[in-house]
């Protein structure tokens, strides 16, 4: 509970901070892009005890951002102070900085926003019989005037960076800024699932984050149905009197970026490298090289053990005894993961095998587990090519490793990794793979962030083989899905693809998109561990795998695909003279 908001309706007056307090504040630029404005305004609404907040953006927030709340409001006589730098109602003196209970405390955000945009602040306290408003554009506010609105506050910021063209240049496309705005709202919703947030654009509502029953409920809505069935809870005590609650996706749901692990500390959405690393360490044995766990963790710590005054945007916080905290989190997550019994069949992507039509005999199906070779029907052979000698398939171990014979020894091939690599290469080389129209188009629900990602990268999604059309509200109709070598994706693979797209796209990663799209599609369309594979399919995959001049010995996630056992080594094992 934030101090300012409890009990709702009480607040302290806004005051100018004294110089000693100002000196202790980690000053810096808080307004970099529309999403940073949305973050500051949303946090102010939460500090004011709002139960419902509406965020409206025009052109990704570049043209206008408006946040309406039903919080405690600002009295008429304090309105000009609210826009002044280092004026806040949240700190009484420097000592309050040692136990910060509100999201804001520096009294900087509104001033910083008013310095680079045209701002209108309209507010009405709960006991006032009228609302008041004032405007500021790049500097000092104008006069306070009467206005109309129910109790609460509206802040509108128009024409971001209108007076600072240099910073305008750093803005990305409206569609890309929109993705960031939606991601910010999502992050704050996961930190405060008890507050309802609506996100709208000039064209209408794009996201409705209703009050969630609990963290798991909120996480399921943000991550989608795959998460609802593929996640496990984690909870326990933290050193120094803290507590951890959370929900994490099983390893199969891991993504190629670290941005889908959400962390809240005392209900503030933060980015924490030590916590993210602790979670990853707990997953270590279950994850590929470039995979990152997804989910939400909520930490409750005594105020003295966490310092939000460490970073200008407060996105990073400092912990007392960070190592002990990280280690406690690693152990809690590891135990929860070990104690979790997955309902889905095992396999690198966890989800059930796609209902791909497979030609040819699936010979070993129903043959019983006592056979050590099953999964493919030998004999299957791959003719020699310029780059590899002839290969003959002997069988498979546990429907996971193909065993093949070559003149100079044997090869063990991971069927999922090989199939994934072949798909990944095909997609990356041609920029597109085949598509298959669905006889019965499937309707999927998309989150605001996924919608924004779809809008921002419609062409990449199409090239990947998906054909998607709006179907009203959050619903989208999938009419065609990617397909390659007789395998096709389920419509539900669209969400992870969009999440993958939305996760990246940082200005520092200009070229990652094609790889991320290819990796996501390949991972979902590939043969899975446990799948029965026909000799034809084995032949097609292995032919393509070895068609390159240097065979790819690692899958897109960095795990090995092929292990060679040379004849000479076999001879050594059996103490035979090498011929």
| Binding residues vs ligand ADP (CB under 6 A) | 14, 40, 44-45, 48, 69, 71-74, 82, 88-90, 104-111, 153
What's the CA gap between 346 and 561, in Å, rounded? 18
Region of 37-45, 230-238, 293-301, 532-540 interacting with Mg ion (CB under 5 A): 37-45
Closest chain position to ligand ADP (CB): 104
Nearer to Mg ion, 308 or 535 (CB): 308
Could you say which DSSP state residue 560 is in? B
CB of 82 to ligand ADP, least distance (A): 4
Does 44 sit near Mg ion (CB under 5 A)? yes
Which entry of ligand ADP, Mg ion, none binds 65, CB below 5 to 8 A by partner kind? none
Nearer to ligand ADP, 97 or 412 (CB): 97
What's the CA gap between 215 and 456, in Å, rounded? 29
Region of 44-52, 56-64, 130-138, 292-300 interacting with Mg ion (CB under 5 A): 44-52
CB of 184 to ligand ADP, least distance (A): 15
CB of 44 to ligand ADP, least distance (A): 3
Nearer to ligand ADP, 68 or 503 (CB): 68
What's the CA gap between 123 and 131, in Å, rounded? 5
Count CA atoms closer than 13 A to 565's CA, side-chain side.
11
Nearer to Mg ion, 87 or 427 (CB): 87
> How many residues touch Mg ion (CB under 5 A)?
3
Buried b (16+ CB within 10 A) or exposed e, 223-252: bbebbeebbbebebebebebebbbbbbbbb
3-state secondary structure string across 140-162: CCCCCEEECCCCEEEEEEECCCC
Could you say which DSSP state residue 395 is in? E
Q: Pick the binder of Mg ion from 71, 104, 347, 378 (CB under 5 A).
A: 104
Per-residue tokens: 102: 């509100």
Nearer to Mg ion, 44 or 153 (CB): 44
Please enumerate in sequence order all residues whose Cβ is within 8 A of that of 538, keeping only pairs 6 or more positions apart, or say none: 376, 380, 393, 402, 415
Nearer to ligand ADP, 30 or 297 (CB): 30
Nearer to ligand ADP, 108 or 474 (CB): 108
CB of 547 to ligand ADP, least distance (A): 59
CB of 290 to ligand ADP, least distance (A): 38
Nearer to ligand ADP, 54 or 250 (CB): 54
CB of 89 to ligand ADP, least distance (A): 3
What's the CA gap between 468 and 474, in Å, rounded? 13
Alpha helix locations (H) across 214-339? 215-223, 225-229, 273-283, 322-338
Region of 16-24, 106-114, 277-285, 354-362 interacting with Mg ion (CB under 5 A): 106-114
CB of 211 to ligand ADP, least distance (A): 19
Which entry of Mg ion, ligand ADP, none binds 218, CB below 5 to 8 A by partner kind? none
Q: If we measure between CA atoms, which residue out of 437, 443, 454 comes closest to residue 477?
A: 443
Nearer to ligand ADP, 40 or 537 (CB): 40
Q: Pick the binder of Mg ion from 17, 87, 91, 109 (CB under 5 A).
A: 109
Please enumerate in sequence order all residues whose Cβ is within 8 A of that of 469, keeping only pairs 6 or more positions apart, or say none: 476, 477, 479
Nearer to ligand ADP, 54 or 416 (CB): 54
Cβ–Cβ under 8 Å, residues 293 and 248: yes
Please enumerate in sequence order all residues whose Cβ is within 8 A of that of 572, keeping only pairs 6 or more positions apart, or say none: 578
Region of 103-111, 275-283, 370-378, 542-550 interacting with Mg ion (CB under 5 A): 103-111
Closest chain position to Mg ion (CB): 104
Per-residue tokens: 40: 């500051």
Which entry of ligand ADP, Mg ion, none binds 89, CB below 5 to 8 A by partner kind? ligand ADP
Region of 78-86, 107-115, 328-336, 382-390 interacting with Mg ion (CB under 5 A): 107-115
Q: At what angle do helices 448-456 and 494-503 cross, to 10 degrees?
A: 80
CB of 136 to Mg ion, least distance (A): 16
Nearer to Mg ion, 134 or 336 (CB): 134
Could you say which DSSP state residue 386 is in? S
Q: Would you say how long the chain is, in residues?
A: 579
H or E element that contains 68: strand 64-69
Q: Is 320 helix (H, G, I), strand (E, B) or coil?
A: coil
Does 31 sit near Mg ion (CB under 5 A)? no
Which entry of ligand ADP, Mg ion, none binds 153, CB below 5 to 8 A by partner kind? ligand ADP
Cβ–Cβ under 8 Å, residues 527 and 344: no
Which entry of ligand ADP, Mg ion, none binds 90, CB below 5 to 8 A by partner kind? ligand ADP
Which entry of Mg ion, ligand ADP, none binds 105, CB below 5 to 8 A by partner kind? ligand ADP
What's the CA gap between 406 and 412, in Å, rounded? 11
Q: Interface with Mg ion by CB under 5 A: which residues?
A: 44, 104, 109
């Amino acid at each position: 509970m934030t101090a300012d908001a409890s009990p709702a309706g009480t607040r302290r007056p806004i005051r100018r901070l004294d110089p000693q307090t100002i000196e202790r504040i980690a000053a810096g630029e808080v307004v970099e892009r529309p999403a940073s404005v949305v973050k500051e305004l949303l946090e102010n609404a939460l500090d004011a005890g709002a139960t419902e907040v509406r965020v409206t953006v025009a052109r990704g927030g570049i043209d206008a951002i408006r946040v309406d709340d039903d919080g405690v409001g600002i009295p008429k006589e304090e309105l000009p102070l609210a826009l002044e730098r280092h004026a806040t109602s949240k700190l009484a003196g420097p000592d309050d900085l040692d136990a910060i209970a509100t999201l804001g405390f520096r009294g900087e955000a509104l001033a910083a926003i008013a310095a680079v945009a045209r701002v209108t602040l309209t507010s009405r306290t709960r006991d006032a019989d009228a609302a008041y408003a004032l405007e500021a554009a790049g500097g000092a506010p104008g006069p306070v005037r009467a206005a109309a609105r129910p109790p609460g506050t509206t802040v509108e910021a128009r024409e971001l960076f209108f007076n600072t063209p240099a910073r305008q240049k750093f803005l990305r496309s409206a569609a890309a800024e929109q993705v960031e705005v939606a991601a910010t709202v999502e992050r704050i919703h996961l930190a405060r699932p008890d507050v309802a947030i609506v996100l709208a654009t000039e064209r209408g509502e794009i996201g409705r984050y209703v009050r969630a029953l609990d963290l798991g409920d909120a996480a399921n809505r943000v991550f989608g149905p795959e998460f609802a069935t593929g996640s496990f809870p984690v909870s326990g005590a933290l050193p120094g009197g803290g507590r951890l609650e959370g929900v994490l996706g099983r390893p199969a749901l891991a993504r190629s970026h670290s941005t889908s692990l959400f962390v809240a500390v005392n209900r503030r959405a933060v980015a924490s490298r030590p916590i993210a690393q602790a979670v990853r360490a707990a997953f270590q044995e279950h994850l590929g090289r470039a995979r990152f766990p997804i989910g939400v963790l909520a930490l409750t710590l005594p105020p003295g053990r966490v310092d939000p005054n460490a970073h200008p945007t407060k996105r990073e916080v400092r912990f007392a005894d960070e190592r002990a905290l990280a280690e406690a989190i690693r152990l809690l997550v590891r135990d929860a993961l070990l104690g979790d019994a997955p309902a889905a069949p095992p396999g690198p992507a966890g989800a059930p095998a796609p209902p791909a039509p497979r030609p040819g005999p699936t010979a070993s199906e129903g043959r019983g587990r006592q056979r050590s070779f099953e999964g493919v029907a030998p004999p299957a052979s791959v003719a020699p090519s310029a780059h590899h000698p002839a290969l003959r398939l002997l069988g498979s171990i546990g429907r996971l490793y193909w065993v093949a014979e070559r003149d100079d020894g044997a090869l063990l091939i991971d069927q999922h990794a090989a199939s994934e690599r072949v798909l990944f290469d095909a997609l990356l080389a041609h920029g597109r793979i085949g598509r298959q129209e669905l006889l019965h188009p499937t309707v999927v629900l998309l989150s605001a962030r996924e919608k924004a990602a779809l809008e921002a990268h419609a062409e990449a999604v199409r090239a990947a083989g998906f054909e998607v059309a709006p179907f009203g509200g959050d619903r989208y109709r999938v009419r065609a899905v990617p397909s390659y070598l007789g395998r096709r994706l389920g419509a539900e693979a669209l969400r992870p693809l969009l999440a993958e797209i939305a996760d990246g796209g940082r200005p520092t990663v200009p070229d990652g998109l094609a790889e991320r799209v290819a990796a996501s599609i390949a991972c979902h369309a590939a043969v899975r561990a446990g799948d029965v594979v026909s000799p034809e399919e084995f032949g097609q995959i292995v032919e393509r795998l070895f068609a390159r001049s240097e065979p790819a010995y690692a899958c897109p996630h960095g795990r090995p695909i092929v292990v060679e056992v040379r004849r000479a080594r076999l001879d050594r094992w059996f103490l035979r003279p090498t011929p």
